[in-house]
A and B are shown apart, each in its own frame.
Chain A
Amino acid sequence: MANPVSNQEAISTAPVANRALPISGAVLAVSAAIWAYLAYFAPLDHVQGLIQKILYVHVPCWFAAYAGFALTAVCGALYLWKNDERFDRVAVAGAEVGVLFCTLGLVTGPIWAKGTWGHWWAWDPRLTVTLVLWFIYLAYLLLRSFTEGSTRTARFASVYGIAGLAAIPLNYFAIELFGGAAMHPDNLERGSLGAGMGWPFAVGVLTSLLALLHLVLLRVDLENRRIAANSTATDWDSDEGF
């Protein structure tokens, strides 16, 4: 499976991510400032107290993590279909940033759980599935570093990225049917949050998705620069050869 997108073509797409970065950075900074203000002045929960405010960080992290993993699966499928290396670069960026947010969610969750449930960890279906998903995308990143040959790496990683997302429903149903009892609320219906808590939550979700976008763009830009640097080094090597 030869890759039709040359390095030269890849370099020509580099300024796209580069140009979008200041805009995404500025929007993210404004959104993060508004979110921090709203979360700080949000009313305290009567039962949980201050620790409930971790909700404004914890839940948005899951939105960004799942969006990152979905981006990896979609771009992996597009890579297999179109055989275009640019999709693979977005896929790896999605996985790396997704793992980052997933780690943040897995760290903030137990802090909240200890304060409210009295335990650091519970084998709740949603928690367990997310932990499995975290392992899957860590394995995805390891697979990329242990596979030789860029085309094969991209192909194997794309297949694994798609399979990883497809494993979510199977794992969820298995654990819900035969695993531990659910501790998380079933859903966040309209009105299930207390008065004054909706806006900081919504802005938190928006900020996390903007952070995902900005970090993915940064990672793609880094990959573009790496390819450009490799290409330049190859040119110098061939010049010296003559």
Chain B
Amino acid sequence: MNALLAVLWKDLLTEWRSRDRAVAMLLFSMLMVVIFHFSLPGGATTETRAYAPGLLWVAYVFAALLGLGRSFAIELENDAIEGLARAPVDRGWVLLGKTIANLLILGFVQAVTACIFALVFEMDLTPVALELIGVVALGSLGLCSVGTFFAAVAVRTRLREVMLPLLALPFYTPVLVAASRATTALFETGSVSFEPIQFLIVIDASYLIASFILSDFVLDE
């Protein structure tokens, strides 16, 4: 548990000092909003509001992939990854610490992106803000747990920037399906049924447990 807190603190402190990952992810998300505007038939306006939940999750997924790829790439400098792997602690806690750090950084980017979406599509998100935070947090935990796990694999391959999306995206499908359906229901009716929430909890638990158990095989010296 101490290892988890140490890794979490280290990652957040590194990010606070450099701010490179969060800024890059944020800029990327904002650029995606511009791209969505030019690719939608009527532009990103109230007319195309029905597409907003799906597009929001597309922006979240690609921003997450961008950040997750960096989370282990920075450990390659000065062979810091060797130190992480050789530390006399359970590697599952190391991976979990990185997962939570990624989740917090992604959470900041998601909050700003949601505000930009609300502005562009002219949506009032304040009545559903708490529910939206809950759905996004559950969906993002799934993205970050399996994404951090595969980032540890991809960082040891050639063309790691290409490998991470290829490895992770098929595992993002169930998260994306449930989370975007829940967000759509939230935007349209102001409430969300328990079914997608329950499903997201099951996925998060499965991904967290599996990545914890298999961490020894991916975090190597």
Contacts and interface: CB of A to CB of B under 8 A. Distances in A.
B217 A132 contact: no
Q: Say what secondary structure dominates the interface of chain B.
A: helix
Interface string B119-144: 00000000000000000000000000
Contacts of A162: 214
Contacts of B175: 174
Nearest to B195: A177
B177 A175 contact: yes
Q: Say what secondary structure dominates the interface of chain A.
A: helix
A148 B158 contact: yes
A136 interface: yes
A61 to B, nearest CB: 20
Q: How many interface residues does chain B have, given as a range?
A: 20 to 34
A143 B163 contact: yes
A147 B170 CA distance: 19
Contact of B199 (A80, A146, A173): A173
B30 interface: no
A16 to B, nearest CB: 28
A170 interface: yes
Contacts of B158: 146-148
B157 interface: yes
B167 A143 contact: yes
Interface of A: 1, 80, 132-133, 135-136, 139, 142-143, 146-148, 152, 155-156, 158-160, 162-164, 166-167, 170-171, 173-175, 177-179
26 contacts: A1-B220, A80-B217, A133-B170, A139-B167, A146-B159, A148-B158, A152-B156, A156-B157, A156-B217, A159-B214, A160-B153, A162-B214, A163-B171, A163-B214, A166-B210, A167-B170, A167-B171, A167-B174, A170-B174, A171-B170, A173-B199, A174-B177, A174-B178, A175-B177, A177-B195, A178-B181
